[in-house]
């Protein structure tokens, strides 16, 4: 019988943990995959936010693998920063958040040799009275470094549409100007014809042109 309360308690804790992970909001935001030589590149890695009422410790490990090579550790964050000796020495900067939801890093002054595969491993250990469950997740980023920035397809389409809109507005304005000019010209011709006809009427007949007013 003594084992029954423990079983119930363990089941309740497991249910709380499961409910916590099911209700946690975790939005996957993909990282940029292309960088320009000489710029700073943020390698984005988003982890699910831990529940505030549950104490947890988080460890983040970053690995780099060149084309045809093996994974090599380059960066580690576990309460403090540890940077491994590598081609990135002195060029890695922690860019994560205090709540450890964002565990991103930034590569400073990227070079063409920085192209490759970056892996972000997240290990989160929750601290309960009965047990300490361990959860891990991983993000993979395929980074390509180019010498010059290429034009974005969306920006190209936007620029083309802008020029088309300018041409359309210009033509519409010209059509409106021609239409208004013809309309004003016809009105002036009609007014001039009426004035000419009025002047052609004999003076003795001009008095009869007035419309009699009915009392």
Please check whether residue 34 is in contact with residue 100, taking contact to mean a CB–CB distance below 8 angstroms.
no
Element housing 36 (H / E): strand 34-36
Whether 104 shows a pLDDT value over 70: the answer reads yes
Report pLDDT digits (tens) over 146-170. Answer: 988 766 656 677 778 888 988 888 9
pLDDT band per the 50, 70, 90 thresholds, residue 133:
confident
User: Who wins on pLDDT, 52 or 116?
Assistant: 116
Please check whether residue 148 is in contact with residue 39, taking contact to mean a CB–CB distance below 8 angstroms.
no
Exposed e or buried b for every residue in 70-80, given b needs 16+ CB within 10 A? eeebbbbbeee
pLDDT score of 215: 47
Rounded Cα distance between 2 and 33, Å, is 56
Rounded Cα distance between 198 and 59, Å, is 99
Q: Is the dihedral of CA 47, 102, 49, 79 positive or negative?
A: positive
pLDDT score of 1: 44
Whether 21 shows a pLDDT value over 80: the answer reads no
Whether 98 shows a pLDDT value over 50: the answer reads yes
pTM to 2 decimals? 0.57
User: Who wins on pLDDT, 75 or 127?
Assistant: 75
pLDDT score of 13: 41
């Amino acid at each position: 019988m003594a084992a029954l309360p423990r079983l119930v308690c363990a089941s309740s804790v497991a249910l709380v943990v499961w409910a916590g992970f099911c209700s946690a909001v975790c939005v996957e935001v993909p990282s940029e995959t292309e960088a320009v030589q000489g710029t700073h590149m943020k390698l984005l890695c988003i982890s699910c936010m831990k529940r505030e009422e549950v104490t947890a410790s988080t460890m983040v490990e970053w690995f780099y693998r060149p084309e045809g090579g093996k994974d090599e550790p380059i960066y580690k964050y576990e309460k403090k920063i540890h940077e491994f000796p590598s081609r990135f020495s002195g060029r890695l900067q922690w860019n994560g958040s205090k709540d450890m939801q964002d565990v991103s890093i930034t590569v400073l002054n990227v070079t063409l040799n920085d192209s490759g595969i970056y892996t972000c491993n997240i290990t989160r250990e929750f601290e309960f009275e009965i047990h300490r469950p361990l959860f891990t997740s991983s993000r993979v980023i395929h980074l390509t470094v180019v010498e010059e920035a290429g034009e974005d397809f969306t920006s190209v389409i936007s620029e083309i549409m802008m020029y088309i809109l300018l041409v359309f507005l210009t033509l519409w304005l010209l059509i409106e100007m021609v239409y208004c000019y013809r309309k004003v010209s016809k009105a002036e011709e009609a007014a001039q014809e009426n004035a000419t006809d009025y002047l052609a009427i004999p003076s003795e007949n001009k008095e009869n042109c007035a419309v009699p007013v009915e009392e």
